Structure 1
């Protein structure tokens, strides 16, 4: 007996017991012929339950249980069970049946309305779900939960403007911390506008993202990219440089455009100084490799290899080892070159196959950056991998 069947069995058993209790009350007041009919249906439902036919048992017991103030909680519990089991169509019918009963209290009606909205959301009927959740915003008991559900809906439908407004309501009205999420929603809007070549609109969205979270890595990276696209290289470098204080692990994401920005300004010394400053603040091996290339141009392969070797003694890295071997191959004896080339190829494949990012919330990993984890849906939980296999 699997877990879901066991849970369903227990719930149905409770319904059966309650049905029996209700049946007894009805038999005391109703005509004998009708009582016999109810009793027959109750026995039929028990037989279905004992013969492990829960679907038929459910339908039989639901027919016996009319929706009223005494049974509404039982119906709601059963609807919740249906949804958990993936039987959302049955949950919808059950919740609609509850709502259709005018004799119920407003509280029970709203509870069923909320559950129906969650049903609609579960099957992707977002318009209907949104309409019901918005209706429940005026009910103090359901306001907070409805705002959270609306936030899920707007993220699922990629309606980032409404997502930002909803998160702002949760922050202002409910006192919840939503700065991180709000910043990402405006970043999503900025990326959409950037793809449409609306750089002015994108920068406006980025300013809102930074207003919500001034230390946002993503917002500062995007701002740098937008300034870079506008050929405002000084402003681009300034935005990218904020990573040194906010989260230096993400610096490799901007390294190529930082290099191009300094080159456009014909400031090679400024670029070298930036790289040295970054290393002093704890930047990873990608920055070291860039610096080693400048050293190689100025002082040759041996000086570059020496700089990498000193770094690797304290911070071993596959990427750094790959660069070091590549530098040594050119100057190795002919008899040693095949072995070094073989080793270099192995290290290169290891670097290519290893994930570059990991979610610090659920452990998801991959080779491309996700600002929202595809697995646990947490924002800003994915970071570049550090150490031997990363930076």
Structure 2
């Protein structure tokens, strides 16, 4: 469901690409003892200061690292390094938590010999735990830009079952540019301006103000279109860094290649968002909901997110039960007005519901489709040109098991 211009732009995915794929970015990870046997600290470093932008959770309990990172970006809208730790979210930790976040920023800047405001910090893990500053200090002092104990993508995970990363190449501003990304997120996912932790890098030269606008625009159609469990975290943040080392003409919203850059950024962010949705805690299936024929895009977005966020829809998908009644029920309580007698509802290409009445379909065929690890629900409202896509996952027994013992 991309527009014609996006379809004409040639975007090539890089095999096993990630946040370190663009020119001039060095990434890594290591275990510093925050958890027993897995990497728990990761970093991103740009060989030269990069234009930067961020989007953050709207949860009123914003974690200390978000406040510190916002402060860094207010200076020059530039970053050169990002430091990430797991286990402790450093959220709801009072003034001491904020002080600790600023201190880790200072230690990182000193270690890399860069200005403090060129460092962003991010944390993920249990809310209410103070950072173990002795381990943080020793870990920062061990960081090497020449070698790495573990990939950055692995060092930032919590309950994720696998790493999440990709990168693409395209032409813009007279040069080949690369956009890469990595993220983590598996539970507490219903973003509002960002999702858990996401990091995007590019070697393109981009105007800082337009970079921020691009991130806001793309986030709304990617990270803000996923849900796992309906919870918006205290630590949600997405950062994008553009270091200009591809040597292209500076891209702005007025540049003729701006649509190409936007398409590349969207491709990376959408891919990362789908990785998160498909790796929801305990999940076995990725659910994609496509809503078309709405009065406008906003209505389509609300309805698609309501469907994919419904616990009853999610459990029906888990059980491979083609219970279309749960889908139309979710549509009906979305808050968006529409004519129920104009709706067409499909599971893949199989018609389930039309003009206010159930359609005749093969239950065995529907179950076979729902047994797949990726399913598509299509709803056409028959009222306009508005369309949107949202992503989520099924709700399983393991989700309860994981979250019932999250701190143990």
TM-score normalized with structure 1 length:
0.24
TM-score normalized with structure 2 length:
0.23
Bigger proportion of residues as strand: 2
Higher relative contact order (CA 8 A, sep 6+): 2
Bigger proportion of residues as helix: 1
Q: Which structure has the larger Rg?
A: 1
